[in-house]
Amino acid sequence: MVDNSLHRGVEDIAVTETELSDIDGENGSLIIRGIPIKVLANNATFEECCYLLFNDRLPTETQLATFQKRLSEHRQLPDRVSTLLSRAAAEAVHPMDAVRMGVAALDLDGKPPAEQAVRLVAVLPTIVAAYWRYRAGEAPVEPRTELRHAENYLYMHTGTEPEPAVVDALEAYLIAVIDHGLNASTFVARSIVSTESDLVSAITGAVGALKGPRHGGAPGPVLETLRTVATTGSPTASVESVLESGNRLMGFGHRVYRTRDPRAAVLASVAERLDTHTDGSTLFETASSFEAVAREKLAAHHPDRRLETNVEFYTAVVLDGIDIPPALFTPTFAVSRVVGWTTHCLEELEDPKLVRPTARYTGKRDRGWTPRSDR
């Protein structure tokens, strides 16, 4: 019997079970394998969080060392992916399109899904960094196996080892966005493997979903706004002009949270620490005054729906503060979220159930056929 009630955007509908992460939208909490996101961001390394998601337990020293080694040995790009990225750079394609192409060109056929997952997590940062080097007319910087994941990602952009404070900030960011329930891109990935397709196809689809401004594409526009406000000094005028023109304030609102996104709190602290470290040279102060005005104005503008700060708002401040170019904000999100995508795929593959919702048909019926000559 088909339930014909309509759930646009699959809102508030549970379509699968997961042991990976859970969001409490009313109380503003997020747990990864049972551990609050703030605890992980303040204590764990990115590799520890990967291990936790993949294995459902925190690693011992030995397990962590083995896992780090395994991950770091899968960082190299195949030649055909390098060639493709250099051609894409010559045509200046959107960085997320380059990531999509790079992922799609990986050949992991025949490898067990868990191995495909590790390879995808390990190589995605190399795809992003190599593409950006090609775009700048420079040769990619080879990954180094002795550097940690976050450190190596930054190193591959410049060829110099980053400062520890910068690595810590990136690592906290990567942990904060590592997994987040059944968001749009994760749903896409799970839907693809529900057909028993492979992980490369699933992650290619997920990258496409993440690109959109209603998902992972918001921090670039957030940064533009904050830069303008830093010059004009007027968050109120900026917020009012967006809302009065009927547009959305980027970095605010969420499908699930009715409170401030807990990841925004984590990233606001990271941004504040970075600001102190750089003697106030980041956009942190501008962002906090903008946020206060935005929350107040959104509450007045939408009294029936609480629109609070989401993860993308302070993402812009943190990534800008560590000199990631705005064009790479969403690809850097993918560098982390590929862990959530792949672990969700592995979970789905344990007991795949073909994703196949229905659509309520609102088109015409009972039409006859008109021969082409009579139309």
Residues recognised as catalytic: 254, 312
Q: Which stretch binds ligand ACO (CB under 6 A): 124-132, 161-169, 276-284, 301-309?
A: 301-309
Nearer to ligand ACO, 126 or 310 (CB): 310
In angstroms, the Cα distances linking 13 to 3, 9, 10, 205, 216 are: 13, 9, 6, 22, 22
**31 in helix, strand or coil?**
strand
Nearer to ligand ACO, 23 or 106 (CB): 23
| Binding of ligand ACO by 123 (CB under 6 A) | no
Question: Cα angle at 38 between 36 and 41, to 5 degrees?
Answer: 115
First to last CA, the chain: 39
Q: Is 251 in the site for ligand ACO (CB under 6 A)?
A: yes
- Taking the complex as a whole, the smallest distance from the CB of residue 213 to ligand ACO amounts, in Å, to 6
Of 69, 80, 305, 353, the residue at the interface with ligand ACO (CB under 6 A) is: 305
Segment near ligand ACO (CB under 6 A), from 13-21, 97-105, 249-257, 350-358?
A: 249-257
d(CA 335, CA 203): 11
Give the interface segment with ligand ACO, choosing from 49-57, 155-163, 190-198, 310-318 (CB under 6 A): 310-318
Residue from 250, 270, 274, 324 binding ligand ACO (CB under 6 A): 250
Select the span of 65-73, 106-114, 129-137, 304-312 touching ligand ACO (CB under 6 A): 304-312
Shortest Cβ 297–ligand ACO spacing (Å): 9
DSSP H helices, 245-283, are: 262-277
Assess contact for 181 and 14: CB atoms under 8 A. Answer: no
Segment interacting with ligand ACO, rule: CB under 6 A, options 47-55, 109-117, 308-316, 353-361: 308-316
Closest residue to ligand ACO: CB criterion: 253
Return the structure tokens found at 215: 């998902």
Contacts with ligand ACO, 158-197, as mask; x by CB under 6 A:
----------------------------------------
What's the closest the beta carbon of residue 41 comes to ligand ACO, in angstroms? 16
Q: Taking Cα atoms as reference points, which of 135, 56, 38 lies closest to residue 331? A: 135
CB distance 309 to 293 below 8 Å: no
Angle 329-350/219-232 helices, nearest 10 degrees?
150
Q: Which of 46, 252, 284, 290 binds ligand ACO (CB under 6 A)?
A: 252
Cβ atoms 109, 198 nearer than 8 A? yes
249 sits near ligand ACO (criterion: CB under 6 A): yes
Asked if residue 218 binds ligand ACO (CB under 6 A), the reply is yes
Q: How many Å apart are CA 306 and CA 26, to the nearest integer? A: 10
In the block, tokens 């980027």 appear at 250
- Residues 70, 94, 111, 255: which binds ligand ACO (CB under 6 A)? 255
Helix (H) or strand (E) holding 30: strand 29-32
CB of 131 to ligand ACO, least distance (A): 22
Minimum Å distance from CB 128 to ligand ACO? 18
| Size, binding site for ligand ACO by CB under 6 A | 20
Helices marked H in the chain: 37-43, 46-55, 61-72, 79-90, 95-104, 113-135, 149-158, 164-176, 184-194, 199-210, 219-232, 235-244, 262-277, 284-301, 311-321, 329-350
Q: Minimum Å distance from CB 78 to ligand ACO?
A: 30
Residues that bind ligand ACO (CB under 6 A): 9, 213-216, 218, 248-255, 302, 305, 307, 310-312
